[in-house]
Amino acid sequence: MKPRIIAKLILYFEKDFDIENINELVQLLPSVSKRISSSNLNPINRMHNSGFLEIQSDEIESYDVVDAQNALLSLTHNHLDNIKHAIEKYDGEAIYRFFISINEDNFPALMFDEEFLSDVNYLNSKLDIVFTTYQGI
């Protein structure tokens, strides 16, 4: 079985925000979003966790992370100026995150193309890769 990959662009905000205003600015419907005031309380500092907005690709079965990267780019690339404006206006930050499910027989290629890395740089974002394992059928 091929690795399963989901790519996400997650926007985090430390200030509370109106989800409708961000959606209007970004001009994308998020997969998931939550205001700070609606988020869980952090048990350590008793403050609400960050508000966030996620845009994600469908789950893709592939040996190449570029396939998931391109699926996410097809959703976000033409909206980068709007995303950057929302990040600046609401003091947010962006993280590109790849969730990759593997087993002992199926390691994907971890390569990123120039267009994707340019988008990461443009938003001054972080890039996370999260691996999980699953049992083959």
Query: Where do the domains of the chain lie, and which CATH numbers do they carry?
Result: 4-133 (3.30.70)
- pTM for this structure? 0.82
Mean pLDDT for the chain overall: 82
Structure-model confidence comparison of residues 52 and 67, the more confident one: 67
Is pLDDT at 9 greater than 50 in this prediction?
yes
Give residue 96's region: left, alpha or beta (phi > 0; psi -120 to 50): beta
Average pLDDT estimate for 11-28:
74
Residue 12 neighbours by CB under 8 Å, 6+ apart: 50, 51, 52, 92, 93, 94, 95
Would you call 133 exposed, middle or buried from its count of C-beta atoms within 10 A (0-12, 13-18, 19+)?
exposed
Mean pLDDT computed over 82-95: 90
Upper half-sphere CA count for residue 86 (Cβ side, 13 Å): 26
